[in-house]
Structure 1
Amino acid sequence: MAANTVISFVFGAFIGVIFYSTVDAQRSPTISYISQEQIKDIGSTVELHCSVQYAQDYPVLWVKVDSQGSYVPISTGSSLIIYDSRFALRYDQASSTYTLQIKDIQETDAGTYQCQIILTISNKITAGVELQVRRPPFISDNSTRSIVVSENEAVELECYAGGYPPPRISWRRENNAILPTGGSIYRGNKLKIKQIHKEDRGTYYCVAENGVGRGARRNIAVEVEFKPVVTAPRPRLGQALQYDMDLECHVEAYPPPAITWHKDGIQLSNNQHYSISHFATADEFTDTTIRVITIEKRQYGQYMCKAANKLGSDEAYVNLFETVIPVCPPACGQARYYSGVAAVTASEFIILSALLVLFFRNFNPQH
């Protein structure tokens, strides 16, 4: 009986080994664990883990998949197959875990890393982990740089940015001026202005922020073309005969207009009677002045300053009338008047004239 028991035990054990060996051989290789998505800063270190089962007889690879879908093998088994000192590979036999370490992470390291068990030429088991690398925002080249539009047109400013995490886009105006859409801040990739006005011209800021670094900003120049607006700050001016007088107009227009002065339907030009000057204070603003030199009777009357560009024209009027007392300026120190052997300046003459007027008013019997 004892001998039969021993034989039965040995036979059972032999059958068990054969059974479990057969079952083990029939089990398919699997990837039991893969690291979750990793988000790292530039210059840091990351470790990616891949645990496998029943893969002793099959090649196990780490492969990087770039944004174009190309595959770059990094390791096979427990050996690296790329020469890069930033990469290292460890294999833990107890847990059948392959650990890929990347030091001093660069932007180009971002992508999907696949752990692969190669079964046949056309068959493999794959699991992937995505490595995201934090990157400060940058404004993309397909964003608006500058724009020139006519008044009352619809306008669309576009701003796109890269970086990780994906940046948030906001819009502002110079000096925090109110946006045409209302408010001082607008969020979104596109700033749409249904009908732009000349007051909307200026510098707009596209700002991209994602919490990494200081963010990125692009200045966008918005030029609005509009017809001239002409104003006369002093529409009535008086001056005495034989003195000079400056007539002024303020012009607002873009593009810069052609500016002319007229009297009695005739365009005036620089000569011994008139001197015309233009002073551009900005792209859209111009001050224009005509000096009437040594006024004669025929030079009194209405003057017109006119400005015209491709979008239209406008004009303003200044009336020059005669006075008894010279107006200073511009008459101050303009000329010298002789009485006998004594010479007096214009300013002295003005004072004398005023005194004479007062004298005659006080002593005139009619007053």
Structure 2
Amino acid sequence: MIISDINIVHLVNFDFLASCQRTPTISYISQEQIKDIGSTVDLECSVQYGLDYPVAWLRVDDAGISGALPISSGTTLIVPNNRFSITFDRQSSTYRLQIRDIQETDAGVYYCKILLSLVDEVAASVDLLVRRSPIIAANSTSSLVVSEGEDIQLECYAFGYPYPRISWRRENNAILSTGASIFRGNFLNISNVQKEDRGTYYCVAENGVGKGSRRNIAVEVEFKPVITVPRPRLGQALQYDMDLECHIVAYPPPAIVWIKDGVTISNNQHYSISIFATADEYTDTTLRVITIEKRQFGQYTCKATNRLGSAEAQVELFDIKLL
């Protein structure tokens, strides 16, 4: 009977020593968590054979290990933030890290670590993903000035979670270079740009969180002047006034002159020139012929010039005989 008791004691001691010599392990860690801003998350880490070792939570952001943020050691919170709390359930040997009122900056990889020595540890991780509405990145195209005939590429990038979808539209749902009113993708290519391609383009980023984000991209197309004359021939009697008109489309805005018989006309007692810029690319000009004299009948030339070229059009003023 005494021998039997001694054997039992030896067996108990052996089991105790064996359990003390087992390497601590992490038997469970929470799966990936996807949360909304303002919500609460519980991250759990269950440890086996680790009661005599320090257990820590820390977060690693996009900067990698250099951006590691220690959060807790055992049941002591290191981060001075009342949104964080740490508890330990002895029955299940589980360390529970709770984060309340989740912020965008809380997203990252959270590590549960058992520190075995200064150079050895056991670790497991869980990703915390925070749903964020899209924000269009600063390196997206903001505006563009090109010359007619060039090939261009508009770029749009956005970040958020889930990863945003990018689509393109034009002002007033005008047709894009792709032949449709909507195009999806980070890049919108326009080949052989024409003046009709100028205007406002919209980069829209959406991911189902919030209202999405939009950037307006102004595309200015430089082109040489195009002139239209609403009334190429005008009749008027002597001693009356008459207005000659030209409409010009050009970008950059052109220099405009009126010419008669090879001589550039200037404002004086016989002529008055008016120039009205109705938009960046639209200009109207009027030449008023004052108290018409016989020598003022004839052909007038309206000429517009910018750095891409020039154009001209003629307006004829003829005499109407009064009875």
TM over 0.5: yes
TM-superposition CA deviations, 1:118-169 (whole Å, max 9, x none): 1111110010111111111112111111111111111121111122212111
Count of matched residue positions in the alignment of Structure 1 and Structure 2: 321
Aligned counterpart in structure 1 of residue 224 of structure 2, from 217, 222, 227: 227
Q: Which residue in the other structure is 2:235 paired with? A: 238
How far has the Cα of 1:210 moved from its partner?
Answer: 1.2
Q: Does 1:303 align with 2:287?
A: no
Determine the structure 2 residue equivalent to 1:114: 111
Question: Any idea what the Cα deviations from partners look like across 1:50-83, whole Å, max 9, x if unmatched?
Answer: 0011112211111111222222221112222232
**Is 1:170 matched with 2:185?**
no
Partner of residue 210, structure 1: 207
Q: Where do residues 170-319 of structure 1 align in structure 2 (5 Å cutoff)?
A: 170-319=167-316
Distance in 2, matches of 1:315 and 1:78, equals 85
Partner residue in 2 for 1:27: 22
2:317 paired residue number = 320
CA distance in 2, matches of 1:72, 1:244: 83
* Alignment-derived partner of residue 56 in structure 2: 61
Deviation for aligned residue 1:212: 1.1
Which residue in 2 is equivalent to 1:348?
none
Higher relative contact order at CA 8 Å, sep ≥6: structure 1 or structure 2?
2
Map of 1:43 onto structure 2 = 38
The letter for the 2-side match of 1:265 is G
Write out per-residue CA displacement over residues 198-218 of structure 1, whole angstroms, 9 at most, x where no aligned residue.
111111111111111111111
Supply the AA of the counterpart residue of 2:200: T
Pair member with larger Rg: 1
* Counterparts of 2:70 and 2:258, CA distance in 1: 79
How high is the TM-score relative to the length of structure 1?
Answer: 0.84
Shift in Å at residue 8 of structure 1? 4.8
| Alpha-carbon distance in 2 for matches of 1:61, 1:285 | 68
For 2:177 and 2:250, locate their aligned partners in 1 and report how far apart those are by CA, in whole Å: 20
Distance, in Å, in 2 between the alignment partners of 1:118 and 1:212 is 39
Whichever residue aligns with residue 130 of structure 1, its letter is: D
Kept after mapping to 2: 8 A contact 1:152/1:197: yes
Deviations 1:83-113 (A, max 9, x none): 2211111111111111000111111211111
Q: Counterparts of 1:139 and 1:63 in 2: how far apart (Å)? A: 30
Quote the offset at 1:272 in angstroms: 1.8
- Cα deviations by residue, 1:185-226 (Å, 9 ceiling, x for unpaired): 111122121221111111111111111111111111111110
Q: 1:79 aligns with which of 76, 87, 90?
A: 76
1:148 aligns to 2:145 (yes or no) = yes
For 1:79 and 1:294, locate their aligned partners in 2 and report how far apart those are by CA, in whole Å.
97
Q: Which secondary structure state, in structure 2, belongs to the residue aligned with residue 120 of structure 1?
A: coil
- Identical positions, percent: 67
Alignment-mate amino acid for residue 54 of structure 2:
P
- Does the 8 Å contact 1:231/1:315 carry over to 2? no
Is 1:88–2:105 an aligned residue pair? no
Q: Matched residues in 1 for 2:69 and 2:319: separation?
A: 92
CA contact (8 A) 1:180 1:196 kept: no
CA contact (8 A) 1:251 1:285 kept: yes
Aligned partner letter, 1:218: R
Q: TM-score, normalised by structure 2?
A: 0.95
Which secondary structure does the structure 1 equivalent of 2:70 belong to? strand
The residue aligned with 1:332 is none
For residues 169 and 266 of structure 1, the distance between their equivalents in structure 2, rounded to whole angstroms, comes to 56
Q: What is the distance in 1 between the residues matched to 2:293 and 2:314?
A: 20
Query: Structure 1 counterpart of 2:248, which letter?
Result: V
Give the Å deviation of 1:39: 1.1
Give 1:267 shift.
1.1
- In structure 1, the gaps of 5 or more residues are 1-5, 326-352, 354-367
